Homo-oligomer: A and B are copies of this chain.
Amino acid sequence: MTLQRPPVNSLNLDLLKEMSKSLDEIAKNKSKAMILTSASPKVFSAGLDIMEMYKPDLKRVEEFWTTLQEVWFKLFGSNFITAAAINGHAPAGGCLLAMSCEYRVMTGGNFSIGLNETALGIVAPNWFMDTMTNTIPVREAEYALTTARMFNVEEALKVGLIDEVATDKDDAIAKCKGFIGKFDRIPALARSITKLKMRQAAIKRLQDGRREDLNEFLQFVQNPKIQKSLEMYIQSLKKKA
């Protein structure tokens, strides 16, 4: 599955819907495995599209968040094997997608990865946190989440946020295939049940609190202070461009 929404694979409603549909198809085809990567040369995914949150239409923004939840359920809780070939920057939602996979290979270079929501004045929801503590130690997660830490490739490898470093995208995909090959002689059903049992607590937590999680997000995007800081952020991006 290749993310292809130039220039930086911002996750807007359309892209999330596409992803949700693709994940359904992969499941229906009884595919053995999926590798998630990006068509952009320098960005894996820039995360949630801020324009979906800025001066939002309530109905659309509700669908936006619900679809993001669905993508996570289908990716984090997939029956098939998932690996991320992270061939560029992966902040916020981009990092979430990568962490939702079972294995992460990142191309070396000047790229960074992390849940840096707080830098924009945003709070990562509980399931982002659960996905992170499924990957790195609690102590590292608290530090990273509060300080909006972006890990470079070496740091990400050291803390366990990624599993391997690759020289380029092809190498990253080859290494993901190497991971997938480990399951060649493992019965698929036992493998997938085992995975889901390990992830059950986090999945159940969002299932049980899905409506509450949506309400929290809706309140958040309707908060004038948040709108103000999004506006300032968007203007700073425009100046850069």
Identify which of residues 196-226 in chain A touch chain B, using a CB-to-CB cut-off of 8 Å: 197-199, 225
Looking at A136, A146, A189, which has the most chain B CB atoms within 10 Å of its CB?
A146
Given the known A-B contacts A119-B186, A190-B123, are A139 and B145 also in contact in the complex, defined by CB atoms under 8 Å? Answer: no
Contact B229–A187 (Cβ < 8 Å): yes
Q: Which of A15-23, A55-63, A127-135 contacts B (4 or more CB under 8 A)?
A: A127-135
Can you list 26 residue pairs at the A/B interface with Cβ under 8 Å? A102-B142, A102-B143, A103-B143, A117-B194, A118-B187, A118-B194, A119-B185, A120-B187, A120-B190, A121-B187, A121-B190, A123-B194, A124-B194, A124-B197, A126-B197, A129-B198, A134-B139, A138-B198, A142-B199, A145-B194, A145-B198, A146-B183, A146-B191, A146-B194, A146-B198, A147-B183
The CA of A148 and the CA of B186, in the complex, are separated in Å by 8
* A98 interface residue per 8 A CB criterion: no
Q: Is the interface of A mostly helix, strand, loop or mixed?
A: helix
* A6 interface residue per 8 A CB criterion: no
* A141 interface residue per 8 A CB criterion: yes
The CA of A187 and the CA of B185, in the complex, are separated in Å by 50
Contact A147–B198 (Cβ < 8 Å): no
